[in-house]
């Protein structure tokens, strides 16, 4: 609380800095410089304090160093602790950026919060920062997620947070809980997490609409991102007499052939792999032949019986090396032990 930092010790330093700031000429520079004769980078213009002109400008902008080497008078030096971001300010034609730096020395200037406060880059107003979920909102979301009657969609619409973000919050909360139980969160890590939380803008979403951040932090839920399949033209113009086979259609739609699709439909109806358990040896061959006729090849290898079962999407094992032969043209099927 009352512990002085080196900055507080020398109170006259701040006053001196204000005098210095009024002396400095301009922070902004001429753009599009050319290096060569006539350029202000040229040696003809001399060096300023042993530095080139741009570098001396930068050092002027950085300001004086404190005892520990910080440029403590620069308004961007220290990270904020009040959830109000400290971005490069937006300027108008009336106020230059130099004037704004002088203004930023005033602590009251930082308290002015408007939509531009949340736009990090003055040249690109379309980039805006998002908001961290405030502690209250996060707790509320986690509380609702424990309620079995609340669906993801309901939680999302209640708090104004997208579904995938709600799911991610729950996922991360579980990881955090595990880490706390395992004692993995060191004091330094906790300190880091706290400082990052205080540095970033936070929002209450729809929990309490009191600040501008709460209003901006409410995510647009009704928007439609076109799915990948809808991003291309599905109409092909061709001559009346042109040939158009099922293979052409498949390649045009980037989809499997119609026959293959129908096959998949057929296999989807099959309830379970055929079981040979309890079948006597004399009936085995006949049984296998039946099975073979319906499905695929059966291979005898010594005592073992192998059958090639058509691979199903999502269940295909993928291993590097020799076993990856389902990619080979001559063996398109996956091997699977019978009765496994």
Contact code string over 16-35 relative to other proteins, x by CB under 8 A: -----------xxx-xxx-x
Query: Which C-beta is closer to other proteins: that of 190 or that of 255?
Result: 190
CA gap 156, 204 in Å, rounded: 13
Query: Which C-beta is closer to other proteins: that of 35 or that of 340?
Result: 35
* Cβ within 8 Å of residue 306, ≥6 positions away: 298, 299, 300, 335, 337, 338
Tell me which of 24, 104, 105, 197 binds other proteins, using CB under 8 A: 197
Beta bridge partners of 334: 309
Torsion of CA 42, 44, 50, 53, to 10 degrees: -50
CA gap 155, 147 in Å, rounded: 10
DSSP state of 301: E
Shortest approach of other proteins to residue 242 CB, angstroms? 22
CA gap 222, 23 in Å, rounded: 53
Q: Choose the binding region for other proteins from 74-82, 244-252, 320-328, 329-337 (rule: CB under 8 A).
A: 74-82
Q: Choose the binding region for other proteins from 54-62, 235-243, 260-268, 303-311 (rule: CB under 8 A).
A: 54-62
Footprint of other proteins on 215-274 (CB under 8 A): 220, 222-226, 231-232
Q: Does 184 bind other proteins (CB under 8 A)?
A: yes
Tell me which of 124, 210, 241, 265 binds other proteins, using CB under 8 A: 124
- Angle between helix axes 152-159 and 135-146 (nearest 10 degrees) is 150
Q: Does 131 bind other proteins (CB under 8 A)?
A: yes
Q: Does 15 bind other proteins (CB under 8 A)?
A: no
Q: Does 47 bind other proteins (CB under 8 A)?
A: no
The secondary structure element, H or E, covering residue 300 is: strand 298-301
Q: Does 199 bind other proteins (CB under 8 A)?
A: yes
What CA–CA distances, in Å, run from 217 to 115, 119, 242?
12, 13, 55
Query: Which C-beta is closer to other proteins: that of 59 or that of 338?
Result: 59
Contact code string over 80-99 relative to other proteins, x by CB under 8 A: x----xxxx--------x--
Shortest approach of other proteins to residue 14 CB, angstroms? 9
Q: Is 35 left (phi over 0), alpha (psi -120 to 50) or beta?
A: beta
Q: Choose the binding region for other proteins from 4-12, 250-258, 287-295, 330-338 (rule: CB under 8 A).
A: 4-12
CA gap 64, 13 in Å, rounded: 10
Torsion of CA 326, 332, 334, 338, to 10 degrees: -150
Query: Which C-beta is closer to other proteins: that of 194 or that of 264?
Result: 194
CA gap 232, 250 in Å, rounded: 15
Tell me which of 16, 45, 78, 253 binds other proteins, using CB under 8 A: 78
Footprint of other proteins on 146-165 (CB under 8 A): 162, 164-165
Q: Residue 221 CA to chain centroid, in angstroms?
A: 18
Q: Choose the binding region for other proteins from 121-129, 149-157, 234-242, 258-266 (rule: CB under 8 A).
A: 121-129
CA gap 71, 20 in Å, rounded: 14
Q: Does 291 bind other proteins (CB under 8 A)?
A: no
Query: Which C-beta is closer to other proteins: that of 88 or that of 150?
Result: 88
């Amino acid at each position: 609380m009352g512990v002085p930092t080196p900055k507080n010790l020398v109170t006259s330093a701040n006053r001196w800095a204000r005098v210095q700031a009024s002396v400095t000429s301009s922070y902004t520079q001429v753009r599009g410089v050319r290096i060569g004769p006539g350029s202000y980078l040229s040696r003809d213009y001399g060096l300023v304090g042993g530095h080139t002109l741009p570098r001396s400008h930068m050092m002027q902008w950085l300001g004086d160093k404190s005892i520990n080497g910080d440029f403590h008078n620069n308004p961007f030096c220290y990270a904020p602790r009040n959830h109000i971001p400290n971005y490069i300010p937006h300027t108008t034609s009336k106020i230059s950026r130099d004037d704004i730096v002088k203004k930023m020395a005033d602590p009251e200037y930082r308290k002015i919060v408007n939509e531009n406060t949340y736009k990090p880059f003055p040249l690109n107003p379309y980039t805006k920062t998002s908001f961290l979920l405030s502690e209250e909102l996060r707790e509320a979301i986690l509380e609702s997620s424990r309620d079995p009657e609340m669906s993801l969609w309901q939680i999302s619409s209640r708090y104004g947070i997208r579904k995938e973000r709600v799911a991610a919050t729950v996922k991360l909360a579980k990881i955090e809980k595990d880490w706390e139980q395992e004692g993995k969160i060191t004091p330094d890590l906790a300190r880091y997490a706290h400082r990052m939380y205080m540095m970033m803008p936070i929002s209450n979403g729809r929990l309490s609409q009191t600040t501008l951040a709460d209003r901006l932090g409410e995510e647009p839920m009704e928007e439609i991102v076109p799915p990948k399949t809808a991003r291309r033209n599905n109409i092909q113009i061709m001559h009346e007499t042109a040939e158009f086979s099922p293979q052409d259609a498949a390649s045009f739609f980037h989809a499997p052939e119609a026959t293959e699709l129908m096959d998949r439909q057929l296999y989807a109806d099959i309830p379970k792999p055929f079981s040979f358990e309890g079948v006597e040896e004399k009936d085995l061959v006949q049984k296998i032949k039946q099975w073979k006729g319906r499905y695929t090849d059966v291979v005898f290898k010594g005592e073992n019986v192998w059958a090639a079962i058509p691979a199903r999407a999502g269940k295909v094992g993928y291993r590097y090396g020799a076993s990856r032969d389902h990619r080979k043209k001559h063996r398109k099927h996956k091997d699977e032990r019978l009765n496994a």
